[in-house]
């Protein structure tokens, strides 16, 4: 199905925001890391704006400097979303879970149970682990690079087969007849070299049948796996051109796997800080950046500007001599953007406040500018939708919902309200139950 509207997901991984200093803002409770009511409130705000899903990323080991910043990841994505499911009604709930350490039967059971209790709103961001630190938490060592996806393939096939093992035809429990037709609740008997399961899984279909699958954009073996299983692929391209290329690559791989490219949606990461004026937005970002080490930031900026002599004055626009010396790194959209902002006369601190170093394209500006960015990418065929990131959840989700969504609705880029009830409907995905028949192995 071709989407008339852009798909919008909200990256809501920790309860603070994408900026490492958001926990230090005066209006933020630093205990929010463990406060499920905060997560629920953010999800409710997103739901008020008709966003299609919230997304919880995951890491199975500590990462980042916890001495100076909140944990970057969630207590537990699946447990968190089971709680959020009770606080929301329409918004999709996407949990990241590694295929490397949990048995497929348990993954299948938890994700489908969550799908059933949320009435068809669950997505699974399926990823293989490869980091030695993650494996160490399970007393294991990572597989060789070429085997990174081996267990993922087995797990995906077993999980989806288990999902389909309570057939739609098993029927609803009939008090004068049978609870379930046992002919349609049958074992899957899939045993791979790493994991296996007999089944069946006693979880009936949800309103969307089974959870949808999301996977990160990748190349090589990762692209091949996404082409086989993913309903949604999420990339982090730095420009429209790169995004179009990634999307095209995914579509070709999907077609090569025997599936319809229209059935797989490509989402691009994007970040926003929104103000009623551009200066107000920059001010909000500067307040966050004030907690970072400015010398370190200037050092990095100097390098992006191609300056051998480090910029030392954060509040003075670059001198004519400095401007004459700047050199954008070719092929680096962030470097080009930093140079452009320097040439436009912004001070180093303001260049930084434009979020030039964020890992995804970022707009620090007005709701209009944010909407323009989304529209330009969407209409250029760069993406079917976006994974939204905000510096500070406590203010920015609301800004987006109250200021940007009305513009997007006015421009008919998003629907005026939820048209469907399930995540599959929100994302414009076709029905699927069990493994995609296009991939089904020949029966033996």
Q: Is 105 in the site for another protein (CB under 8 A)?
A: yes
Q: Which stretch binds another protein (CB under 8 A): 73-81, 235-243, 255-263, 387-395?
A: 73-81
Q: Among 3, 44, 48, 87, indicate the residue that binds another protein (CB under 8 A).
A: 87
Q: Among 6, 7, 82, 405, which residue interacts with another protein (rule: CB under 8 A)?
A: 82
Q: Does 43 bind another protein (CB under 8 A)?
A: no
Q: Which of 2, 67, 320, 321 forms a contact with another protein (CB under 8 A)?
A: 67
Please list every residue from 139 through 178 that binds another protein, using CB under 8 A.
139, 172-176, 178
Stretch that binds another protein, among 137-145, 251-259, 406-414, 418-426 (CB under 8 A): 137-145
Of 192 and 420, the one with the shorter C-beta distance to another protein is 192
Q: Are strands 53-56 and 265-274 parallel, antiparallel or unpaired?
A: unpaired
> Rounded distance, CA 215 to CA 209, Å?
19
380 binds another protein (CB under 8 A): no
Task: Assign 3-class secondary structure to the chain.
Answer: CCCCCCEEEEECCCCCCCCCCHHHCCCCCHHHHHCHHHHHHHHHHHHHCCCCEEEECCCCCCCCCCCCCCCCCCCCHHHHHHHHHCCCCCCEEEEEEECCCCCHHHHHHHHHHHHHHCCCCEEEEEECCCCHHHHHCCCCCCCCHHHCCHHHHHHHHHHHHHHHCECHHHCCCCCCCCCCCHHHECCCCEECCCCEECCCCCCCCECCECCEEEEECCCHHHHHHHHHHCCEEEECCCCHHHHHHHHHHHHHHHHHCCCCHHHCEEEEEEEEEECCCHHHHHHHHHHHHCCCCHHHHHHHHHHHCCCCCCCCCCCCCCCHHHHHHCCCCCCCHHHHHHHHHHHCCCCHHHHHHCCCCCCCCEEEECHHHHHHHHHHHHHCCCCCEEEEEECCHHHHHHHHHHHHHHHHHHCCCCCCCCCCCCHHHHCCCCCCCCCCHHHCCCCC
Applying CB under 8 A, the span of 112-120, 231-239, 280-288, 357-365 interacting with another protein comes to 112-120
Residues in binding contact with another protein, number by CB under 8 A: 69
Q: Among 78, 161, 342, 435, which residue interacts with another protein (rule: CB under 8 A)?
A: 78
Is the CB of residue 312 less than 8 Å from the CB of residue 375? no
Give the one residue of 142, 196, 216, 406 binding another protein; rule: CB under 8 A.
196
Pick one of 21, 94, 282, 342: the residue that binds another protein (CB under 8 A).
21
Tokens standing for 215? Answer: 């996977």
Q: How far is the CB of 104 from another protein (least distance, A)?
A: 8
CB of 86 to another protein, least distance (A): 4
CB of 41 to another protein, least distance (A): 13
In the bound complex, what is the minimum distance in angstroms from residue 403's beta carbon to another protein?
27
Residues between 238 and 297 with contacts to another protein, criterion CB under 8 A:
291
Among 47-55, 78-86, 315-323, 369-377, which window interacts with another protein (CB under 8 A)? 78-86
Cβ 54 to another protein, closest distance in Å? 16
The footprint of another protein on residues 202-221 (CB under 8 A) is 202-204
Q: Which of 3, 44, 48, 113 is the binder for another protein (CB under 8 A)?
A: 113
- In the complex, the residues that contact another protein under the rule CB under 8 A are 21, 23-24, 26, 30-31, 33-34, 36, 60, 62, 66-71, 73, 75-76, 78-80, 82-83, 85-87, 101-106, 109-110, 113-114, 116-117, 133, 136-139, 172-176, 178-182, 185, 191-192, 195-204, 291
């Amino acid at each position: 199905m071709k989407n008339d509207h852009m798909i919008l997901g909200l990256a809501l991984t920790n309860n603070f925001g994408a900026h490492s200093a958001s926990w230090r803002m005066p209006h933020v409770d630093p205990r929010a890391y463990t406060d499920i009511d905060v997560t629920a409130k953010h999800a409710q705000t997103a739901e008020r704006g008709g966003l299609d899903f919230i997304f919880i990323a995951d890491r199975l080991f500590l990462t980042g400097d916890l001495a100076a910043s909140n944990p970057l990841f969630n207590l537990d994505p699946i447990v968190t979303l089971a709680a959020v499911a009770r606080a929301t009604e329409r918004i999709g709930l996407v949990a990241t879970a590694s295929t490397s350490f949990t048995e497929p039967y348990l993954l299948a059971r938890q994700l489908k149970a969550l799908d059933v209790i949320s009435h068809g709103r669950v997505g699974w961001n399926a990823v293989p682990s490869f980091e030695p630190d993650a494996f160490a938490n399970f007393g294991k060592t990572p597989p060789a690079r070429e085997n990174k996806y081996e267990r993922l393939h087995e797990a995906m096939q077993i999980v989806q087969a288990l999902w389909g093992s309570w057939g739609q035809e098993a029927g609803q429990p009939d008090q004068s007849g049978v609870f379930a037709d046992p002919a349609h609740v049958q074992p899957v008997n899939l045993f791979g070299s790493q994991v296996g399961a007999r089944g069946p899984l006693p979880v009936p279909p949800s309103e969307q049948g089974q959870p949808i699958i999301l996977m990160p954009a990748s190349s090589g073996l990762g692209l091949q796996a996404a082409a086989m299983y993913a309903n949604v692929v999420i990339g982090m391209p730095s420009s429209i051109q790169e995004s179009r290329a990634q999307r095209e690559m995914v579509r070709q791989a999907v077609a090569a796997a025997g599936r319809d490219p229209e059935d797989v949606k490509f989402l691009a990461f994007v970040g926003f800080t929104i103000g009623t004026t551009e200066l107000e937005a920059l001010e909000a970002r500067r307040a966050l950046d004030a907690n970072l080490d400015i010398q370190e930031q200037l050092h990095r900026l100097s390098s992006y500007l191609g300056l051998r002599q480090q910029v030392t004055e954060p509040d003075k626009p670059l001198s004519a001599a400095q401007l004459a010396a700047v050199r954008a790194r070719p092929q680096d959209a962030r470097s080009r953007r930093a140079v452009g902002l320097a040439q436009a006369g912004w001070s180093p601190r303001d260049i930084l406040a434009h979020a030039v170093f964020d890992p995804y394209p970022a707009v620090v500006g007005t709701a209009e500018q944010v909407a323009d960015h989304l529209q330009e990418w969407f209409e250029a065929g760069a993406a079917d939708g976006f994974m939204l990131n905000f510096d500070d959840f406590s203010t920015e989700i609301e800004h987006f919902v109250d200021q940007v969504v009305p513009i997007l609705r006015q421009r008919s880029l998003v629907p005026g309200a939820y048209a469907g009830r399930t995540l599959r409907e929100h994302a414009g995905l076709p029905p699927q139950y069990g493994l995609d028949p296009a991939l089904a192995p020949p029966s033996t």
